[in-house]
Amino acid sequence: MSSKKSVNSIGNTIKVALGLCVVCSIVISSTAVMLRPMQQANMLLDRNKNILVAAGIFDTSVHTNADVEEMFAQFTPRMVDLTNGSYLSDERMAELGIDPATYDEQRAKNDPQYSRNLTGNEDVASIRRRVNYATVFVIEAEDGSGYETVVIPVSGYGLWGIMYGYLALEGDGDTVRGIGFYDHQETPGLGGEINNPRWLQQWPGKEIYDDQNEVAFRVVQGGGDGPHEIDGLSGATLTARGVENTIQFWLGDLGFGPYIENEVRG
């Protein structure tokens, strides 16, 4: 009887429970480590596909994930220093521990070493902090005269949260090739229409800058026929305004404006 009590004692129960917890933790940790390379590969695949879609190169009705690697090979990732609009040298990237192929801007945004706080007047897109270094993806012109395509990351607050996307420009750094938002919290059927192909078809051919090289892009509710204008989203005024603010910020002086002037047009 006493032996049975000792086996079923609270102490033994706790020991068994702790043992199971340790075993489960080891199994979960080991699984996470084994799956990490696969997760990273899937994230990279998704990023590259989003860039191809924004550039109008990848047609989801025709192409599959198996086509992404070959199609993306035409792009070259480059690191831009947003504080001066120039490319980072290999030496500087080594100092910072940055690899343009795998650089995580969302993580860098929360690190004071790699980002800066935005004041009220500066924070047009309501993102609070801006990275100091950003990855752009370029296709060089065949004749070596410049670029055929430049894709930049953009982000800005819509109605419910930050909208993340890629904006593709022609080699002139002004004419839009396309845009794609890959992560957002906008309301389906309203602000979520930023992913509607019919709305996205308006973008190619639009111009970002006016003759004074100021950002002239606008999202116009009930209109949008001008060279710098996109028709707004019906019933989603705040989302449309967020898209406009996003472009205004990232193509302006605190975003990629200096880079486009120095490296793309220059």
Residues 58-101: tens digit of each pLDDT: 988 889 999 999 999 999 999 999 999 999 999 999 999 998 87
* Closest alpha carbon to 243 in 182, 168, 189, 164: 164
> What integer pLDDT is reported at residue 149 of this predicted model?
97
Average predicted confidence (pLDDT) for the chain: 89
Q: The dihedral of CA 152, 265, 133, 48: what is its sign?
A: positive
Residue with tokens 């702790």, as numbered in its chain: 18
**pLDDT tens sequence across 112-147:** 999 999 998 999 999 999 999 999 999 999 888 899
Question: What does pTM read for this prediction?
Answer: 0.85
Q: Between vectors from CA 138 to CA 197 and to CA 87, what angle results, nearest 5°?
A: 130
- Residue 18 — very low, low, confident or very high, per pLDDT cuts 50/70/90? confident
> What integer pLDDT is reported at residue 1 of this predicted model?
47
Contact 206, 216 (CB under 8 A): no
**pLDDT tens sequence across 211-241:** 999 999 999 988 778 999 999 988 899 999 9
